[in-house]
Amino acid sequence: MISSEKALALVLSHSSKGFRTREISLSDALDYVLAADVISLIDMPPFRQSAMDGYALKIGETNSYKILGEVQAGGVNSLQLNKGEAVRIFTGAPVPDTADAVVIQEKVRLKADTILVEDPLQLMMNIRPQGEQIKKAAVALAKGTSIKGTHIGFLAGLGITRIEVAEKPAIAVVVTGNELVPAGQDLAHGKIYESNSAMLIAVLKELGYSNTTVISIKDHFESTKEALRETIEKNDVVIVTGGVSVGDYDFVGKALNAIGVHEIFHKVNQKPGKPMYFGKKEHTAIFGLPGNPAAALTCFYVYVYPLLKKYQGAEDAHLLTILLPLLNDYTVIGGDRAQFLKAKISGTGVEILTGQSSAMLSAFGTANAFVFVPEDRIKLEKGEIVKTILLPIK
The answer to whether the bond into 272 is cis (omega within 30° of 0) is yes
The listed CATH number (1.20.950.20, 2.170.190.11, 2.40.37.10, 3.40.50.460) that belongs to domain 49-128: 2.170.190.11
Domain 321-390 CATH (choose: 2.40.340.10, 3.40.50.300, 3.40.50.720, 3.20.20.70): 2.40.340.10
Map out the domains of the chain as residue ranges: 4-19+168-311, 22-43+133-166, 49-128, 321-390
Give the global pTM. 0.86
The predicted pLDDT at position 221 comes to: 84
Query: Given this model, what pLDDT does residue 95 score?
Result: 96
- Give pLDDT, residue 19: 76
Residues in the chain: 394
The whole-number pLDDT of residue 182 equals 65
Residues of the chain with pLDDT under 70: 16-18, 178-191, 193, 243-250
The pLDDT of residue 248: 47
pLDDT at residue 291, rounded to an integer = 86
Q: What is the pLDDT of residue 249?
A: 44
Judge contact between 58 and 81, C-beta under 8 A.
yes
- CATH number corresponding to 22-43+133-166: 3.90.105.10
The dihedrals phi and psi of 121, each to the nearest 5 degrees, come to -105, 150
- Beta strand pairing call for 101-104 and 54-57: antiparallel
For the purposes of burial, counting CB atoms within 10 Å of the CB of 357, is it exposed (0-12), middle (13-18) or buried (19 or more)? Answer: middle
pLDDT of residue 263: 95
Alpha-carbon distance of 57 to 64, in angstroms, equals: 10
Query: Does the domain spanning 4-19+168-311 belong to CATH 3.50.50.60?
Result: no
Tell me the pLDDT tens digit for each residue of 111-130: 999 999 999 999 999 999 99
